[in-house]
Amino acid sequence: MSRIGKRAVSVPSGVTANVEGQTVKVKGPKGALQFVVHDDIVVKMDKDGVTLAPRHETNRARALWGTSRTRVANLVSGVTKGFEERLEITGVGYRAAVQGKNLQLQLGYSHDVVYPIPEGIAITAPKPTEILIVGIDKQKVGQVAAEIRSFRPPEPYKGKGVKYQGEYIFRKEGKKK
């Protein structure tokens, strides 16, 4: 049994949630989000909040049960608090700056990497070596962070590159003579 899926997603005050078929729509102070739940999961609106249950006792339905509940919980926390991801840039001459609707990255290439900021995401560079990504959709915030990190992932010898804040880079020893 899914221990996460059993719990109902509580809807705090100031947030409205409604279920229309398999679509869960959540509206709060930061915006509105929706998620279409898989057909193997039954979605209901109760006095406790939004409850989810598997429609059949199949492995697929049981696997999607906890995932769907977490996705709905992320909608609720996204419209109330929002999500943020911090990236750190390490390396001589590596820096980031926001110019209009683009993120300009200098990552040791012969050219600057220009990343267009997607709709619904706010990117700031509080320091030249730090990038802050903020939004209400957790999946979109994580995807943008992963795309920016992929331009120059951290390498194991000197640790140069773009990494998540708090990410541990396994370091290797260099060549010996």
Going from the N-terminus, what domains does the chain have, and what CATH number goes with each? Answer: 3-80 (3.90.930.12), 83-164 (3.90.930.12)
* Confidence check: pLDDT of 22 > 70: yes
48-100: per-residue pLDDT in tens? Answer: 899 999 999 899 999 899 999 999 999 999 999 999 999 999 999 999 999 99
* Confidence check: pLDDT of 23 > 70: yes
What's residue 176's pLDDT? 86
Q: What is the mean pLDDT of residues 103-108?
A: 94
What's residue 172's pLDDT? 93
* Confidence check: pLDDT of 154 > 90: yes
What's residue 3's pLDDT? 82
* Confidence check: pLDDT of 14 > 70: yes
* Confidence check: pLDDT of 2 > 90: no
Mean pLDDT of the chain: 92
Q: How sure is the predictor about 32, in pLDDT bands with cuts at 50, 70 and 90?
A: very high
What's residue 1's pLDDT? 58
CA 134 centroid distance within chain: 9
The pTM for the full model equals: 0.88
110-152: per-residue pLDDT in tens? Answer: 999 999 999 999 999 999 999 999 999 999 999 999 999 999 9
